[in-house]
Amino acid sequence: MYTDKILVCKECAQEFVFTAGEQEFYAEKGFRNEPARCKSCRTERKNSLKQSKEMHTAICAKCGQEAKVPFKPRNDRPIYCSSCFANHR
């Protein structure tokens, strides 16, 4: 049903293959648009967005350790460190 497609990255203008498997995955997830960037440009963009996020320090409501969060903490909701958050969910 799906066949490999050659696409051009909008960042680096290099050709890359949008495989049949990737197309099937996109269809299963309901994604309507084909990828506009190659794998390396997507990874680079994702990493740059992560680095640009401002992290805030808070105290975990469960264990009392310091936690870094990507949002400004408010006093009306508890903040959990990553391990307590995983257990709390």
Write the secondary structure of the chain as one string of H (helix), E (strand) and C (coil): CCCCEEEECCCCCCEEEECHHHHHHHHHHCCCCCCCCCHHHHHHHHHHHHHHCCCEEEECCCCCCEEEECCCCCCCCCCCCHHHHHHHC
- Provide the terminal-to-terminal Cα distance of the chain, rounded to the nearest Å: 39
Is pLDDT above 80 for 88?
no
Q: What is the pTM of this model?
A: 0.57
Instruction: Dump pLDDT digits (tens) for 18-65.
Output: 999 999 999 999 999 999 999 999 999 998 877 777 889 999 999 999
Domain match, 46 and 63 both: no
Domain with 70 in it = 56-88
Domain match, 46 and 81 both: no
Domain match, 65 and 40 both: no
